Each structure stands twice: as C-alpha cells, then as structure tokens.
A and B are shown apart, each in its own frame.
Chain A
Amino acid sequence: MRKSALYSLVTIFLMQTFTMYSQAPGKPAPGFNLTISEVHPGGMIPNVHTLLVEYTNTSKVDYHPNGCWEFRGMYNMIVLSDGIPAKETDNMRKLRKFRDGANCFEGGGLIAGYLKPGKTSKEYLEVSYYYDMTKPGTYEITVTRETFPWNPEKSVTVKSNTLTIVVPEPGSTEPQ
C-alpha cells in the first residue's frame, strides 16, 4: 500500500501547452500533437509504467492510422535514467528489428478507425516493456513520432511533453 502510494506521489507530470517539433524548410507542418501522462490500467504494479498517449488531429483532414499495431503509432520513446539513456529491453530491440523489415500482414490483426479533425485519440504505451525502469532514479520520458515515417525527406519529428517518473530506492518512504 505504502509503495503504491509512493509511486503515485513521485509521478510528476510536466505538461506543455504547445507542440514541439523540428521544423525544416520545405517540409509540411505536422498535423497533430502529442501529450503523455502516466496511467495504471493494471493497477499499481511495481516497475511497470504505462503512458497514455493522446494524439490530437490538428489538421483539417481525417487521419487514417496504420492499423498495424506495431506501426499504428510508430511512436518512439526517449527514456533517460538520471540523464543517461535508459537500457533497452529485448522487446524494444525486437520492435526495432520488426519495424526495419516491416510486414503488417504476417499474422497480426489490425485495428480499424480514423480520427476526425480536432479530435483526440487515446493510446496506451507500456514504456517499461521497452525500457528497463527497475533501477532507482529519475526517469525522463518523451514520446516522439514522425509525420512521414516512411519518407524521411518529408518527415518532421513531433515530440510530446516530457514526463518525469521517480523510482525510489527499495524500502524508502520518501521520493528521491
């Protein structure tokens, strides 16, 4: 109970009210922005951290996502542990390898649905499935997404707000 409460206490949300992206000359402006926060869909489970990624369609056209789960968001995660890139898990390495040789039609089911202009979708991203977050310390997490994942010449990187999660020392009662 104490540990669960502690996880709640040490989760700090740093919300930013503007979209961050790297605008380059000649590249289309992004038609979306991203906001992340921490949620607990499975309850408070030690060392498990799940993000709620809110994607807002800021364009004037419908957004038809990739129905393939691995690419649907095509999200990338920047996870720093005390300022240093956190260790990837095997799951992240597998995902990256799969994305490199993409074929959505090999056995996986798709998700149907699209997003109208001005609407926001909600997606879960279990960041601790892809990055080791068991080590005590301060984790800074940012989610990014390319506007054209398959066309680097046109693509712009959109960044979410940065979320800070403090993983306390085992047995400690105060946030580090």
Chain B
Amino acid sequence: MVRGKNLQQRRLKGTGFVTADKATAECPETSASITAADGSTVPVSGVTVVDKTKITLTVAPQVTDPTDPTETATVTAVTGPNTSPPTPANILGNQILCDPNMPDCGGNVISTVDGAPPPVQNVVVGQKIVLNTNTNPNLPITPYKTTWTVDGTRIKNYAPTTASASVTELKGMDLAQPNITFYWVYQNSSIPVTVTYQYCVNIPGVGNQCSPVANATFNVSGPTGFITPTYDPGNWSLNGPIPVCGKKKTIYALYFGSLNVAESTSCQAVASSAGITFTASLSDVPSSGGTNAWVQLISSNTLSAVTPTGKQAISNYGTGLDKSFPYPLPLDDSSGNVVNDVPGSGLNTIYATETKDFSANMYLLWTPQISGSIPVPIGYVSWTISATADQNVGQSPPWAVADGATATATFTVSTDTGAPTHGLPTWKRVVTAASAALPSDVEPDPVQMDGEEENQ
C-alpha cells in the first residue's frame, strides 16, 4: 500500500473468511483492519466479505510522504470467535449439567441463561446431587470468581456411625468451585428450589466480565411421617429376685416395661414387655423407595438414691447415642417401622429409695434407595420418664414402685433448626451398659454429677 493514494479499492485474498450470511453469535462475520508500520490505524470502509477467500475494502491512507514508495502497512482479517470487547452473552460454557451418574438427568444440561424457565428436575431428599459445569475449553483465562447458590436446606455430608455423627455444611469454598456436590435434607416439592451458577473472568484490555447466570430448578420430594409412641405411665415394674451371674445373690430391678424374671439373670436380662414402643408411618414416599433407621439420643439418664439415714447419691449414666447406630430392631419386627425401649436399673439394698430419671429423643431417619444417598430426618419423639423404687425397709414386698411415676412423649416433625446440624441428630459418644457400668454394693457417695459432654 502506498501512502498518498487515497481511497483505493483493494482486494484481500486468504482462506476461512466468514461471510455475513454464514455468521453466528459464536463465529461472527470476518472483520478487516489495516495497521500502519508505526502502529497507527489506517481508516478503512466498505469492508465486504465476498466469500471465504476474498474480502474487498476501501482504504484511505494518510498523506504524509507521497514520494515514499517503501512505506507499508499490515492488513488484518479476523475470522473466528468474536474477540471484540466481550459482552456477558458471549462468555460461554456457563450451563449446569447433572453428573452422568445421577439418575434421570445424568449428563444433561439442566439450566437456562436467557431467562426462560429451566426444565424442572425431580430429585429426592438425601440423594447425592452432583452438578457440573461445562467451562469453555477454549477460554484462555481462568475464572477469578465462581459462584453457586443453592436454595433450601442443603449440606455437604452427614456421616452417622456408632462412634459419632456429624454434619458437614456446604461452605463458601464449596460454592466457589466449578462443580458442586451436596444433599437436600428436607422435601420441598411444592415450591421448586433453584440452583444458580455464574463465573467471572478478567480479560486483559477489557476488564472483568461475568457470564450470564445459569438457572436450574428442582423438585425435592421426600416422605412425610409420623411416629406414634405407645406407652403408659403405669408401665413401670419392680422385678426380682433375679440371680446375679457368678454370685450367690439376687437383686431387684426397676424397669419401664417388665422383665421375664423366671428367665433372667443379671447377664441375661429378658424383657417381657416394652415400656415404650415407637411405630413409624410414612406417606408420600418417592418411587425410589427407601429404608428407615432409628437413632435414640439420651439427654438424661440418672439414678438418684437415698439411704435409710438420709444420705444421697446420684449416678449419671451419661448422654449420647443409645446402644448403637442404627438403634436395634426388635426381634419380632424387622420391618424397620417399629422399635422399643425398656430403660431401667438394678437396685442396691443399701438404699431406702432409688429414683430413675430418663429422657431421650427417638429419631426416625430415612435413606432413599439411590446410590450414594445419606439418611435424612423425618421426625422424633421427645420422651421423659421418672419413677421411684421404695425398698419398704422391714416390710413386704422388699421393693415396690412408689406413687408418682410419670411418663410423657411428644412427636415433632424434623425441621431445619439452623446451623450446624440443621435438625439432624449428632453425637460424639455412645452410651451402653458397658460404658455406663457402676460399681455395686458400695457406700453411697455425696451427690455428684459427671461432667458429660453435651450432644450437639
């Protein structure tokens, strides 16, 4: 190109040019520009992409040195992804995909970015939700910010074992990753919950640009349920005499429920009736099906004693998970819909009276039969019992249940009680007869309470 010759028609030859009728949002029409050797821009007009090998345009070089035949300029034709200052709509790869292993929606794009309603996904409480994003592989810039929002009560994990159970919350760091894994705890199918995703990049020479927000919508279904506690405050019983294993002696025992005294020993305690029975009834169970698991957390378990001379002693058996996870099923009903409990204690003849106080929450958990799922809470029964055994010193019978025995039980639907547990039962220790063993036939100690660790 020679300066001083204004308004020349020029023809560019090359390959891969994109004409106007073939242009798309992702691959716009080829543009052309001319840059002089000194870096200045040479005005051009009438750029026309004739076909994929030919562009015509009109140039108007500056008249600086009409006699210099060696002055040159660079002609640039740009074809391919739009490199003009990006607008949010042009940042790609921002859709939400279900992980390939998720049932029903596996691998599918489930979001929209244009404001159109996304297709509603049907999932279940406790189901492992794994969402991925299809970050544009051609994007040469790493997003400086990634943002997920997830409505509803959602957690990163819940891991109940006999030793302990804890809830791992979904934290800000988890919400800033390209992919996300979480569980919904409570059903919310009547009001679909929303998940959004957006990333932002810094483009040199342009600045910070954020993608459009990708929206996905879920119906989170799950069962509703009720636990019926069956009990009677008069279910307390005084049982004995019961042989002590390996010793030529017998003991009496106070129980909520009753023992089969004829078949029982101190190491072979056979309960003939439960003090309290919990029966679950579920409705709106998702088609995936699921299984029940029961958890009982003891909040108080003491035996307070008074000697004939008025001295007092108290034994605290501790708080935490009762027996095991899951709570054991009765042998005559392995459906998982029924459990029972027969709390009580052996009695020591050195005391005139002994009072058993026990309170606990019996939880019903439900786990969908979908791989990778966790248990979620349905509801729980808070129950409290108390009774006093009177030795009737010098009278008969040797022990009897004193007047005033009580028992109460109330069902509550599980709800999100806030961080950190969100209504899920958690514990740090298990309470068993082994962990609660007391010395027997000892002089009463002054009143004292063990410093047990509280449940969360």
Interface residues of A (CB under 8 A from B): 1, 4-5, 8, 41-45, 48, 55, 63-72, 91, 94-95, 97-98, 101-116, 119-124, 126, 129, 150
Within the assembled complex, what's the spacing in Å between the Cα atoms of A133 and B73? 74
Selected from B158, B251, B433, the residue in CB contact (under 8 A) with A108 is B433
Asked whether, in the complex, the Cβ of A69 is within 8 Å of the Cβ of B432, the reply is: yes
Q: How many residues on B have C-beta within 8 angstroms of the other chain's C-beta atoms?
A: 73
Check B435 against A94 for contact (C-beta < 8 Å).
yes
Q: How far is the CA of A103 from the CA of B372 in the complex (A)?
A: 40
In the complex, are the beta carbons of B340 and A113 less than 8 A apart? yes
| Cross-chain contact A112 with B130 (CB below 8 angstroms) | no
Distance A54 CA – B140 CA, assembled complex (angstroms): 58
A103 contacts B244, CB within 8 Å? yes
CB < 8 Å neighbour of A123 from B242, B329, B332, B345 = B329
Q: Is the CB of B161 within 8 A of A129?
A: yes
Verify A103–B436 contact, CB threshold 8 A: no
A-B contact pairs, 7 of them (CB 8 A): A69-B323, A102-B245, A107-B301, A108-B433, A112-B340, A113-B333, A150-B268
Determine whether B223 belongs to the interface, using a CB cutoff of 8 Å to chain A.
no
The B260-307 residues at the A interface (CB cut-off 8 A) are 260, 263, 265-274, 291, 293, 301, 303
Considering the complex, give the chain B residue whose CB is closest to the CB of A97. B434
- Assembled-state Cα–Cα distance A101/B247 (Å): 11
A107 CA to B265 CA in the complex, in Å? 15
- B130, B344, B433: residue with the most chain A Cβ atoms closer than 10 Å: B433
Residue of A nearest to B159 (CB): A45
Q: Provided the pairs A42-B374, A129-B161 are in contact, do residues A110 and B437 lie with their beta carbons within 8 angstroms?
A: no
B371 and A66 within 8 A (CB): no
Query: Which of B245, B293, B324 has most chain A Cβ within 10 Å?
Result: B324
* B312 beta carbon closer than 8 Å to chain A: no
Q: Is B393's beta carbon under 8 Å from chain A?
A: no
Asked if A123 and B328 sit within 8 Å, CB to CB, the answer is yes
Name the contact of A114 in the complex, choosing from B158, B332, B342 (C-beta under 8 A): B332
Give every chain B residue within 8 A of A119 (Cβ-Cβ). 332
The reply to whether B433 and A104 contact each other, CB–CB distance below 8 Å, is yes
List chain A residues, Cβ under 8 A from B324.
69, 124, 126
Could you tell me the distance between the alpha carbons of A1 and B162 in the complex, rounded to whole angstroms? 23
A70 to B434, CA, bound (A): 7
Contact with A105, one of B162, B344, B372 (Cβ below 8 angstroms): B344
A42 CA / B162 CA spacing, docked (Å): 10
Asked if B390 lies at the interface with its beta carbon under 8 angstroms from chain A, I say: no
- Given A1-B181, A124-B324, do A70 and B432 touch, yes or no (CB 8 Å)? yes
Instruction: State whether A112 and B437 are in contact (beta carbons under 8 Å apart), knowing that A48-B161, A67-B269, A126-B161 are contacts in the complex.
Output: no
* B367 at interface, CB cutoff 8 A: yes
Q: Contacts of B345 on A, CB cut-off 8 Å? A: 105-107
Let me know if A106 and B433 touch, CB within 8 A: yes
Other-chain residue from A4, A66, A91, A129 in contact with B269 (beta carbon distance below 8 A): A66
Q: Are B99 and A67 in contact (CB under 8 A)?
A: no
CB-based nearest B residue for A47 = B161
The winner among B165, B323, B324, B328 for most chain A CB atoms within 10 A is B328
Q: With A41-B375, A103-B267 in contact, is A111–B340 under 8 Å at CB?
A: yes
**In the complex, what's the smallest C-beta–C-beta distance from A136 to chain B, in angstroms?**
20
Report yes or no: A121 in contact with B437, Cβ–Cβ below 8 A: no
A-side contacts of B322, CB under 8 Å: 109
List, in ascending order, chain B residues with CB within 8 A of A116's CB: 332
A42 to B253, CA, bound (A): 34
Residue of B nearest to A2 (CB): B101
B315 at interface (Cβ–Cβ under 8 A)? Answer: yes
Q: Which of B99, B255, B326, B343 has most chain A Cβ within 10 Å?
A: B326
Is the Cβ of B161 less than 8 Å from the Cβ of A110?
no
A-side contacts of B101, CB under 8 Å: 1, 5
B326 close to A41 (CB less than 8 A): yes
Residues of B within 8 A of A8 (CB): 371
Residues of B within 8 A of A124 (CB): 324-326, 328
Do the beta carbons of A42 and B344 come within 8 Å of each other? no
Picked from A5, A104, A109, the residue with its CB within 8 Å of the CB of B343 is A109
Question: With A41-B325, A69-B323 in contact, do A112 and B342 touch (Cβ < 8 Å)?
Answer: yes
Known: A42-B159, A124-B328. A102 touches B99 (CB 8 A): no
In the A-B complex, the 5 residue pairs with the closest CB atoms = A108-B433, A105-B346, A113-B330, A102-B267, A98-B434
Report B315-342 residues with CB < 8 Å from chain A CB: 315, 317, 322-326, 328-334, 340-342
